[in-house]
A and B are shown apart, each in its own frame.
Chain A
Amino acid sequence: MSEPLLIVRDLVKHFPQYEQRILTKRQTGSVRAVDGVNLDVMAGETVGLVGESGCGKSTTARLILRLIEATSGSVIFDGVDVLNADDEALRRLRRQMQIVFQDPYASLNPRLSVREIVGEGLRIWGETADFDKRVGDLLDRVGLNRRFLDRYPHEFSGGQRQRLGIARALAVRPKLLVLDEPVSALDVSVQAQVLNLLVDLRDEFDLTMIFIAHDLSVVRQICDRVAVMYLGRIVELGDRDGIYTRSTHPYTQALMSAVPVPDPVHERERERIPLEGDPPSPLNPPSGCRFHPRCFKAETICRTEDPPLIERVGGHECACHFPEVSNVT
């Protein structure tokens, strides 16, 4: 088997918390946003990162791109050590790894024209030959009219802005595209348009994708493999059908059973695994398995021993002492 395009090992990000007094400031603890993530991404595949707010999925993506600095761990992209790359190496890496953000309103500079937004990467790399034609071709490619070059972001709808964000990311021909909740701000009919566009572009540009979403239905539609995160860790990792039809971690099962299915007959027969309360604070995560305070199968060992993410049953990796295969969709 070939080498993965991206290798993430023991990735950790702790955000220190301070107590501010009038003159003094002292650290009171740290939010363990990402706490030991391991992930391999093969060239050409789309990996979904799913989980609820605060599970660390967006922070993981930002660490991989080195948009924020990791506390520890390593990220190897195409043989290059991302976390220890110097400025010049990082500049070259950024061309290979691009991101599309969730909020199509906040992520485009309102004072720049479409030409400047989409063409910025080309300009940075000095690729200004046939500039307007190249930017126009990109607009065409994402389904926008190439005559829009001189327009500004406020003239576009949410779905169109998200297309602009995608065109901007693709301008420099990256190998890896990170998509952080790319369709969650869009209405259903527009969401389908953007998801279809991403599938087309993935084939056309040979993209490897990391797709972050809280919407498990969207992830099932677009991803080859799925990593389920809880409190800064991956708790279950496997190919799409394995995760959706043979999930083994009780958190994955509870999460999926909570998603309502748009079919009233099926929906009202489905069994739900209720979860009590909210996820615990990443400031002070529970001992042992982090999910044990909310887990319906927790036993003594779960309170003391942290289960590693290894292959157990069902043909994929799971971090649980008592995994059982179940289809909850």
Chain B
Amino acid sequence: MSAAQSDGGGAPLLRVDDLRATYDTEGGVVRAVDGVSFELRHGEVLAIVGESGSGKTATSLALLDLLPKHIGKVVGGSAEFDGIDLTKLSAADMRAVRGARIAMIFQDALTALNPVHKVGKQISEMIRAHQRVPRSQAWERAVDLLEMVGIPNPRERASNYVHEFSGGMRQRAMIAMAIALEPEILIADEPTTALDVTVQAQVLDVLLGLRERLGMSIILITHDLGVVARAADRVMVMYGGRKIEEQTTEGLFANPQHPYTKGLLRSMPRLDSVIGDRLTQIPGAPPSLVNPSEACRFAPRCDFARPICDEQYPAQVSIGSGSQVACHAAGDPTWETNT
């Protein structure tokens, strides 16, 4: 299913508007998510890409009220999902949504799964926490789920503990748990980052296969632009807690707009070619998000910055067919941003 087919012109499944979240740290208040807006459509894979500290994980944690207790909190904006604002839900109401209707999987399956319970038991407990089904029936469902994610001998494997699984199987088990209640949205946070490439390919195939089979929408958080190219329908690029660009996957790779996106694509070594002697590099390092300025966050590292970039944050400009970019140079034909 491609984005075009799945869109269907209907209302988006999830509409995030001006979401803001902060972390309290010793150094001050970190504005980890600083006014992020996006939509997720039925059946699509939306990738959120960015480097460490860009706010991609914080965005998804904020949606599910999973920010670290006492440190992280949502301080503004809304996230409308099927007529309800996720940011306004009580803890009890959120528990009914989280896991059942919006599920999340993490990079590190070993710490996300419980080492002292059998894998099948963890999955069936998850089912029984949301649905009134007998234990034996939930166990059978767990075995079916393990089979669905491609674990060989699922009946025997359901009785294993996590440490008896390889890295790829753990990730599959976590996916099985996440899809147990057939959620409408699956948030996958760096699901393949810790895996070897051959296993990474298997796990991505499982995720995309489940999307077709269950009609889920997926938010795929990753720093790997190769994974984005393989799996995503649309991409949103984050930098310094903000969304700086959003396009279809084809559009982003063929015609990136923001100088940061352009730099990122050019700084990647390629399997399919050699880029001269030197890679294009983006000078400097990502900004601190403690009391960030109101200027463009990328301006200090941008080769094309002009005085206005140090003065005010650029507005989100629509560049046709649902694409957006936040750059002062966008739409100004006299402002060249290509090297």
Query: Which residues of A does B touch, CB under 8 Å?
Result: 52-53, 157, 159, 187-193, 195-196, 199, 214-218, 220-222, 240, 244, 254-256, 258-268, 272, 274-275, 277-278, 329
Question: A251 to B297, alpha carbons, bound, how many Å?
Answer: 44
Contacts of A272 in B (CB 8 A): 201
Q: Contact: A217 with B281, CB < 8 Å? A: no
Pick the residue among B229, B283, B285 that contacts A267 (CB under 8 A): B229
CB of B226 within 8 A of chain A? yes
Contacts of A192 in B (CB 8 A): 267-269, 279-282
Q: Mark B250-279, 1 if CB is under 8 A from A, else 0.
A: 100110000000011101111110110111
Contacts of A215 in B (CB 8 A): 269
Q: Contact: A188 with B268, CB < 8 Å? A: yes
Q: Contact: B51 with A217, CB < 8 Å? A: no
Q: Mark B100-121, 1 if CB is under 8 A from A, else 0.
A: 0000000000000000000000
Question: A220 to B263, alpha carbons, bound, how many Å?
Answer: 20
Q: Contact: B168 with A256, CB < 8 Å? A: no
Please, could you name 11 A-B residue pairs with CB atoms under 8 Å apart, sorted by A?
A: A52-B197, A53-B167, A188-B225, A217-B268, A220-B271, A259-B226, A260-B201, A260-B229, A262-B270, A265-B254, A329-B272
Q: Contact: B270 with A193, CB < 8 Å? A: no
Q: Contact: A256 with B271, CB < 8 Å? A: yes
In the complex, how many residues of chain B place their beta carbon closer than 8 angstroms to a beta carbon of chain A?
47
Question: A217 to B273, alpha carbons, bound, how many Å?
Answer: 9
Question: A222 to B275, alpha carbons, bound, how many Å?
Answer: 10
Q: Contact: B199 with A263, CB < 8 Å? A: no
Question: A157 to B52, alpha carbons, bound, how many Å?
Answer: 11
Question: A259 to B195, alpha carbons, bound, how many Å?
Answer: 12
**With A218-B269, A220-B271, A262-B225 as contacts: A199 and B277 at CB distance below 8 Å:** yes
Distance (Å) between the CB of B26 and the closest chain A CB? 13
The 4 A-B residue pairs with the shortest CB-CB distance, nearest first, are: A260-B226, A192-B267, A221-B269, A187-B51
Query: Which residues of B does A touch, CB under 8 Å?
Result: 51-52, 152, 166-169, 196-202, 204, 223-230, 249-250, 253-254, 263-265, 267-272, 274-275, 277-283, 285-286
Q: Contact: B201 with A258, CB < 8 Å? A: yes
Residue picked from B167, B264, B270, most chain A C-beta under 10 Å: B270
Q: Contact: B253 with A264, CB < 8 Å? A: yes
- Kindly report which residue of chain A lies nearest to residue B282, judged by CB atoms: A189
Q: Contact: B263 with A189, CB < 8 Å? A: yes
Distance (Å) between the CB of B118 and the closest chain A CB? 21
Question: A171 to B272, alpha carbons, bound, how many Å?
Answer: 35
**With A187-B52, A193-B281, A196-B278 as contacts: A259 and B271 at CB distance below 8 Å:** yes
Question: A104 to B270, alpha carbons, bound, how many Å?
Answer: 24
Contacts of A218 in B (CB 8 A): 269
Question: A120 to B58, alpha carbons, bound, how many Å?
Answer: 40
**With A214-B196, A259-B226, A260-B229 as contacts: A265 and B285 at CB distance below 8 Å:** no
- Kindly report which residue of chain A lies nearest to residue B249, judged by CB atoms: A264
**With A187-B51, A190-B285 as contacts: A278 and B166 at CB distance below 8 Å:** yes
Question: A263 to B249, alpha carbons, bound, how many Å?
Answer: 9
Residue picked from B152, B280, B282, most chain A C-beta under 10 Å: B282
Q: Contact: B197 with A221, CB < 8 Å? A: no
